[in-house]
Structure 1
Amino acid sequence: MANSSLPQEQKMYDTALNLIGVIAKVPLVKVDREQFLRQQFANSPYLEEILLLGPQSVYTPKALEKKARAIVRSNTNKTSAVSFATGLPANPFVMVPAAGADVAQYFGFALHMAQQIAYLFGEDELFTNGGELTEEAKVRVIAYLGVMCGAAGAGNLIVQTSRVVGQNVGKKVAGQALTKTTWYPLVKKIGVLLGQKITKKTVEKTISKAVPLLGGVVSGGLTFATFRSMGFRLTDEFFKLVTGEDQEEMELNPEFLASIVDVDGPNHRRR
């Protein structure tokens, strides 16, 4: 039974990779790290340190989180306005079969915002090598979009690929195909979930376009409701990363913790 699901999983994974390939070619999706940081910290006396080492080396995680959330709100407002405009069919009586383009636009905006958040928290330039996505960059894109879409394990992938935690990912994947990297199983799993989200979003966009005038309102509403939460998810993940919070360990109920100490002794820890 498990084998029968493999073709569908591969289809979802290919959907995610294909979309990433499409949006990566759009110039407006790309964020120049240095230009962005110069704009955000134009009045800072520590601009050179920020450009060289990242904002996280100068400012507290809380200060960066506040700035990231402001950026998310700004991106959300801009994206909703565009989505409202494109949600209106050219002919009110004919459903426009352009859901695929709309979805690409939606995730293109998401990747644009993801770069801004990542750069705030000290990550390296995403688009290098003449503006192309390297294998390492593809992993980072899958991780970013995966977190934004709520895919389980995507946060762990960000930790593994992050410059902030000292991983020299570029050398690890240099000259390797994505399928040969050690974390490919996790990348594949997140990519499948991302493909499912993309497919679901395509259906939502198609339905919204089927309603003549209301279509624009529905499209913009869907964007505003989901886009902001996507940005906040990624912000929260990077905040955990730079503060060193354990993303896997959950805080125990004090009463339960006391019962463990009583029964098993003060030095016992149950995993």
Structure 2
Amino acid sequence: MAETREIENAGSNFTQVLEAAAKLPGVRISRAAYLRTALKRYCTEEQIETAIAKSPAAAGIPLKVISDVANASIKYETSKVTGLSALAGIPGGFAMVGTVPADLAQYMGHMLRIAQKLAYIYSWPDLFADEDQDVDEATENVLILFVGVMFGVQIAQSGVTKVAAMVSANLAKKLPQQALTKGVIYPIVKKVASYLGIGMTKKLFASGVAKAIPVVGALFSGGLTLGTFLPMSKRLQKHLASLELTKPSHRKVADDIANAEAAP
């Protein structure tokens, strides 16, 4: 019983860090603005508008372009996190994090930024429809899965794959709320949060930032950050790129089926 409670507390600690990071200025990425900016060098205006209205896969954007955009986004976010980011310089920014150590929230903020960018270029729906509201449970849970993939939590990959299949099958423009908050994905999310809490935040809450694990210390060492943030981002990119959701051919077949079913 005590061990179960400890695991639950660890998951709660991690969720607290994620929620604090999501409140920091600049962490939430506008899907439409990102896709428009990221694709303007490679795509026609028509393709960009289709990518925003539907998805990059539905717009038929080549996987080579998707990969190039993803790599550019990873490079950009990695360069920002190697030093203290602009988030730290915004007055009142860290007043929002409460009891969560500021540098941990900042590092997590960068993880959430790259997770959103990779999700959007790999054809996931909008995660933050309303930037002024708190993170809803479905979004929070899918972000937990993304971060789990970044940290190499095996079960997180399974969770992301299942959610992607639901989004793809339903041609959805939003996350599968029921599955993520009460259904088949929810138990996976809770396990991933617990693993992450035990492995990352438990030591932080117990002994403070100065004695935290290297992931947090990476904020103060560009070389160490390259050894953590970069491969974690690449790990998420690799998994998202492997999903059927991002394949133009798959999306075209799904659209053809939907159109045939809608025809009289």
* TM-score greater than 0.5 by the shorter chain: yes
Q: Percent identity?
A: 26
Find the aligned partners of 1:223 and 1:23 in 2 and give their Cα distance: 18
Per the alignment, residue 165 of structure 1 pairs with: 168
Alignment of 1:138-217 (within 5 A): 138-162=140-164, 165-167=168-170, 168=172, 173=177, 178=181, 180-199=182-201, 202=204, 205-207=209-211
Find the aligned partners of 2:144 and 2:219 in 1 and give their Cα distance: 29
Find the aligned partners of 2:222 and 2:176 in 1 and give their Cα distance: 41
C-alpha displacement at 1:222, in angstroms?
A: 2.7
Per the alignment, residue 31 of structure 2 pairs with: 33
CA contact (8 A) 1:111 1:141 kept: yes
Alignment of 1:83-98 (within 5 A): none
Find the aligned partners of 1:119 and 1:177 in 2 and give their Cα distance: 18
Q: Which amino acid in the other structure matches residue 41 of structure 1?
A: L
Find the aligned partners of 1:33 and 1:60 in 2 and give their Cα distance: 19
Per the alignment, residue 125 of structure 1 pairs with: 126
Shift of the 149–240 alpha-carbon distance from structure 1 to 2, 3 Å rule, reads same
Per the alignment, residue 53 of structure 1 pairs with: 54
Q: Which amino acid in the other structure matches residue 239 of structure 2?
A: E
Find the aligned partners of 1:30 and 1:223 in 2 and give their Cα distance: 21
SS of the equivalent of 2:57 reads helix
Q: How many residues align?
A: 223
Higher mean displacement: 136-145 or 157-166: 157-166
Higher mean displacement: 35-44 or 219-228: 219-228
Q: Which amino acid in the other structure matches residue 111 of structure 1?
A: L
C-alpha displacement at 1:181, in angstroms?
A: 2.8
CA contact (8 A) 2:168 2:245 kept: no
Alignment of 1:208-227 (within 5 A): 219-227=221-229
Higher mean displacement: 26-35 or 47-56: 47-56
C-alpha displacement at 1:100, in angstroms?
A: 1.5
Find the aligned partners of 2:73 and 2:228 in 1 and give their Cα distance: 15
CA contact (8 A) 1:15 1:195 kept: yes
Match of 2:238 among 227, 236, 250: 236
Q: Which amino acid in the other structure matches residue 10 of structure 1?
A: E
Per the alignment, residue 5 of structure 2 pairs with: 7
Shift of the 216–230 alpha-carbon distance from structure 1 to 2, 3 Å rule, reads closer
In structure 2, list runs of 5 or more residues that go unmatched.
89-98, 248-264
Find the aligned partners of 2:218 and 2:176 in 1 and give their Cα distance: 45
Find the aligned partners of 1:205 and 1:226 in 2 and give their Cα distance: 17
Q: Provide, for residues 137-181 of structure 1, a one-character-per-residue CA deviation record: whole Å limited to 9, x for no partner.
A: 11211111111111121112112222652355958535x993x33
Per the alignment, residue 94 of structure 1 pairs with: none
CA contact (8 A) 2:14 2:196 kept: yes
Find the aligned partners of 2:180 and 2:239 in 1 and give their Cα distance: 27
Per the alignment, residue 266 of structure 1 pairs with: none
C-alpha displacement at 1:201, in angstroms?
A: 7.6
Q: Which amino acid in the other structure matches residue 124 of structure 1?
A: P
Q: Work out which of the two has the higher radius of gyration on C-alpha atoms and give 1 or 2.
A: 1
C-alpha displacement at 1:75, in angstroms?
A: 0.9
